[in-house]
């Protein structure tokens, strides 16, 4: 006990005060799926000091059978009681963990470690990477047997209230995540029927990745308690808007100043900010398979439906890949750029890591951002795009995999092990889809031919 840090000892004190009997030690596999090992609270002190062993060979993207021994080290700053696991016999808490190898070194394939590694690269340049993800999701109803009904939970629209049947669901979601330490700034009904968005406070990328996991975990649990199902699938219903995870980004220095802000620039953007934007525009195709990682992701990333597929940037332009929200007096710290192509199926640790890596590459390479474009890109013809020199995102997961496979920057960011594991898994996913015969094909061709 005496060898524990003050922060770890404080966590033990909290478990006693909170009547915690069980602790979920959470982490993610390479693809962002939350994994958990549950221990009695009486074993938490040992876990905080020495870690908790588990079999890494059972986790996708981790180690082989012959290298299976790994251990979890809880991060005390992530402690929270799980609001829907409270009972008179004792409560449950959770801690998010880092993954270690038996020799005490961080596991290089741990997504949390990958993000930490790139954040350290930024910190060595005197920069703290802050992000603010916007999580969109759909709520589906369940039938009498509890099966998910693939239809919107309501008929509401953007900012709607009269047709919004999920107001109470979102309220309970917000209450749950705020009890878990996440500060929510806004929630509302999104554009599509049955679609919703809950936004939380901007902050350092590691904290925000942890918060993103917390939100997704909590939203699904609360939705179930209301007899509904929350899905982060990007395009669960055709011909309506899909769900994205737009990410607002900026750098702060050691004095707490936003280094993206420049009062003398017409867009109030610093040279560092412009180079950051240039880096993300240059490398976005290479990181697309990480930011939009599923076959279904590319059903969302098509022209129209407010999907950002055009590789350009602007200030008033919501059809651009990167948008710079307009500056308002007295809000210098809010200066930021918004990358609009990620979706909520992305592993947040890997997504923020590759986004940061690309932005840092733009700064280190001294790239110049292209001229901002404020035209509505959805109205442009293919010949217009060629004339303007505007490229587009990959059109499918297969195309995105091709871009990723040749990327030395993404290989450096993920590390050799994770890069190869990720690529192999995505190739298998794409091949499985490519060989599948869909309902659309049967309905279109079976009787015709």
Q: Is 55 a catalytic residue?
A: yes
From the candidates 75, 190, 193, 199, give the one annotated as an active-site residue.
190
What integer is the mean pLDDT of 403-421? 97
* pLDDT tops 50 at residue 66: no
More confident residue, 51 or 160: 51
More confident residue, 315 or 234: 234
Q: Is 246 a catalytic residue?
A: yes
Domain boundaries, the chain: 6-105, 116-418
The contacts of residue 277 (CB under 8 Å, 6+ apart) are: 269, 313, 322, 324, 337, 359, 362, 369
CA-based nearest residue to 113, from 353, 347, 293: 353
From the candidates 29, 75, 110, 134, give the one annotated as an active-site residue.
134
Distance CA 389, CA 89 (A): 65
Question: How many residues would you count in the chain?
Answer: 449
Q: Is 197 a catalytic residue?
A: yes
From the candidates 154, 197, 262, 286, give the one annotated as an active-site residue.
197
What integer is the mean pLDDT of 114-141? 95
β-bridge pairing 148-152 and 128-142: antiparallel
Contact (CB, 8 A) for 62 and 107: yes
143 CA to centre of own chain: 30
Q: Is 338 a catalytic residue?
A: yes
Least confident of 53-57, 104-108, 258-262, 350-354: 53-57
* pLDDT tops 50 at residue 162: no
What integer is the mean pLDDT of 208-222? 96
- The CB density around residue 381, as the number of other CB atoms within 10 Å, is 8
CA-based nearest residue to 209, from 107, 334, 114, 99: 114
More confident residue, 349 or 147: 349
Contact (CB, 8 A) for 342 and 245: yes
The contacts of residue 211 (CB under 8 Å, 6+ apart) are: 177, 182, 200, 203
Distance CA 257, CA 277 (A): 19
More confident residue, 173 or 145: 173
Contact (CB, 8 A) for 100 and 107: yes
Percentage of the residues of the chain whose pLDDT score is greater than 70 = 92
What integer is the mean pLDDT of 47-65? 78
Helix (H, G, I), strand (E, B) or coil at 260: coil
* pLDDT tops 80 at residue 331: no
Please tell me the predicted confidence (pLDDT) of residue 382.
Answer: 81
Q: Is 318 a catalytic residue?
A: yes
**Residue 203: beta bridge partners?**
131
Least confident of 26-30, 147-151, 414-418: 147-151
Please tell me the predicted confidence (pLDDT) of residue 189.
Answer: 78
Regarding the domain delimited by 116-418, which CATH topology (the fold level of the hierarchy) does it fall under? Creatine Kinase; Chain A, domain 2 (3.30.590)
What integer is the mean pLDDT of 421-439? 96
* pLDDT tops 70 at residue 164: no
From the candidates 153, 246, 274, 300, give the one annotated as an active-site residue.
246
Domain 6-105 - what CATH class?
alpha beta
Please tell me the predicted confidence (pLDDT) of residue 159.
Answer: 46
From the candidates 24, 262, 338, 403, give the one annotated as an active-site residue.
338
Q: The dihedral of CA 291, 331, 197, 319: what is its sign?
A: negative
From the candidates 188, 226, 318, 411, give the one annotated as an active-site residue.
318
């Amino acid at each position: 006990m005496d060898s524990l840090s003050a922060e770890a000892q404080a966590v033990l004190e909290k478990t006693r005060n909170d009547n915690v009997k069980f602790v979920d030690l959470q982490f993610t596999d390479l693809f962002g799926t939350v994994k958990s090992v549950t221990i009695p609270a009486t074993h938490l002190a040992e876990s905080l000091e020495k870690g908790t062993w588990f079999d890494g060979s059972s986790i996708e993207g981790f180690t082989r059978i012959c290298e299976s021994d790994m251990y979890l080290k809880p991060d005390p700053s992530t402690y929270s009681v799980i609001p829907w696991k409270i009972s008179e016999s004792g409560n449950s808490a959770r801690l998010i963990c880092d993954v270690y190898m038996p020799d005490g070194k961080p596991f290089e394939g741990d997504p949390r470690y990958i993000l930490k590694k790139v954040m350290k690269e930024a910190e060595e340049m005197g920069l703290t990477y802050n992000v603010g993800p916007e999580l969109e999701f759909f709520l589906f109803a369940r039938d009498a047997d509890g099966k998910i009904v693939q239809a919107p939970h309501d008929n509401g629209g953007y900012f709607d209230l009269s047709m919004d049947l999920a107001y109470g669901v979102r309220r309970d979601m917000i209450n749950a995540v705020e009890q878990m330490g996440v500060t929510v700034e806004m929630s509302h009904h999104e554009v599509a029927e049955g679609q919703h968005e809950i936004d939380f406070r901007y902050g350092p990328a590691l904290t925000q990745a942890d918060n993103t996991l917390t939100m997704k975990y909590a939203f699904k649990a609360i939705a179930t308690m209301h007899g509904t199902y929350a899905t982060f699938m990007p395009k669960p219903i055709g011909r309506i808007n899909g769900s994205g995870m737009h990410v607002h980004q900026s750098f702060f220095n050691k004095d707490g100043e936003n280094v993206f802000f420049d009062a003398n620039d017409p867009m109030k953007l610093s040279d560092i900010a412009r180079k950051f934007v240039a880096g993300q525009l240059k490398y976005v195709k290479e990181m697309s398979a990480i930011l939009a990682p599923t076959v279904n992701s590319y059903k969302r990333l098509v022209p129209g439906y407010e999907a950002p597929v055009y590789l350009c940037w602007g200030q008033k332009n919501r059809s651009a890949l990167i948008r710079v929200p307009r500056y308002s007096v007295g809000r210098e710290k809010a200066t930021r750029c918004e990358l609009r192509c990620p979706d909520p199926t992305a592993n947040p640790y890997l997504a923020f890591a590759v986004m940061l890596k690309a932005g840092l590459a733009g700064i280190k390479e001294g790239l110049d951002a292209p001229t901002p474009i404020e035209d509505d890109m959805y109205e442009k013809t293919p010949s217009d795009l060629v004339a303007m020199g505007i490229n587009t995102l990959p059109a499918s997961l297969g195309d995105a995999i091709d871009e990723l496979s040749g990327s030395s920057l993404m290989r450096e960011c993920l590390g050799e092990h994770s890069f190869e594991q990720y690529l192999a898994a995505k190739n298998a996913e794409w091949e499985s889809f490519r060989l599948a015969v869909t309902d659309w094909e049967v309905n279109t061709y079976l009787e015709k031919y």
